[in-house]
């Protein structure tokens, strides 16, 4: 069982992947669940648009698509993230790229843990859980909180 990261194309490189794995594992373990196989694929907008069209019948750009393979308490899935979209959102929301990337990375895990985001109430709860996870990152790695 493992959390894995790969890149579809381009020169993207995840910063501090071991810290990210530890953080995501902690998010999962604090929910009383176990880490299964979680595969992240960092890609560009066009690749993710193709996946969105092919598998979800959505003809829109998105920052993340999560495929859920959870079985009982074993959290598993494939998570695809458009680094282009993350970059655009970081500018739009006026936050550092890494902060927005971490938010999107944990967003996928929160989906695997059962958190939806379709309704307004679910979206607000998702944001609250993202913020809590970002605070956990700061606590785990003794960084000053900026969010």
CA 80 to chain centre: 8
Give CA torsion, residues 143, 76, 107, 5, to 10 deg: 60
User: In whole angstroms, what is the distance from residue 4 CA to residue 145 CA?
Assistant: 27
pTM: 0.94
DSSP 144: P
Confidence of residue 146 (pLDDT cuts 50, 70, 90): low
Q: What is the mean pLDDT of the chain?
A: 95
Q: What is the pLDDT of residues 52-107, one digit of tens each?
A: 999 999 999 999 999 999 999 999 999 999 999 999 999 999 999 999 999 999 99
Q: Are 38 and 24 in contact (CB under 8 A)?
A: yes
User: In whole angstroms, what is the distance from residue 147 CA to residue 145 CA?
Assistant: 6
DSSP 1: -
Q: What is the pLDDT of residues 11-48, one digit of tens each?
A: 899 999 999 999 999 999 999 999 999 999 999 999 99
Per-residue model confidence (pLDDT) at position 89 = 97
Confidence of residue 121 (pLDDT cuts 50, 70, 90): very high
Confidence of residue 10 (pLDDT cuts 50, 70, 90): confident
Domain range 3-140, CATH architecture: 3-Layer(aba) Sandwich (3.40)
Q: Are 44 and 10 in contact (CB under 8 A)?
A: yes
Confidence of residue 143 (pLDDT cuts 50, 70, 90): confident
User: In whole angstroms, what is the distance from residue 41 CA to residue 81 CA?
Assistant: 6
Token pair belonging to 63:
């920052």
């Amino acid at each position: 069982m493992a959390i894995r990261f790969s890149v579809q194309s381009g020169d993207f490189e995840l910063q501090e992947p071991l810290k990210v794995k530890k953080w995501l594992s902690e998010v999962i373990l604090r929910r009383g669940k176990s880490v299964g196989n979680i595969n992240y694929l960092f890609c560009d907008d066009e690749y993710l648009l193709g996946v969105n069209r092919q598998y979800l019948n959505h003809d829109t750009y998105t920052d993340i698509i999560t495929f859920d393979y959870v079985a009982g308490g074993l959290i598993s899935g494939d998570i695809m993230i458009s680094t282009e979209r993350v970059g655009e959102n970081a500018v739009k929301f006026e936050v550092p790229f890494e902060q927005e990337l971490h938010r999107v990375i944990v967003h996928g895990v929160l989906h695997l843990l059962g958190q939806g985001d379709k309704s307004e109430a679910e979206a607000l709860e998702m944001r609250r859980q993202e913020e809590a996870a970002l605070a956990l990152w700061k606590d785990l790695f003794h960084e000053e909180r900026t969010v």
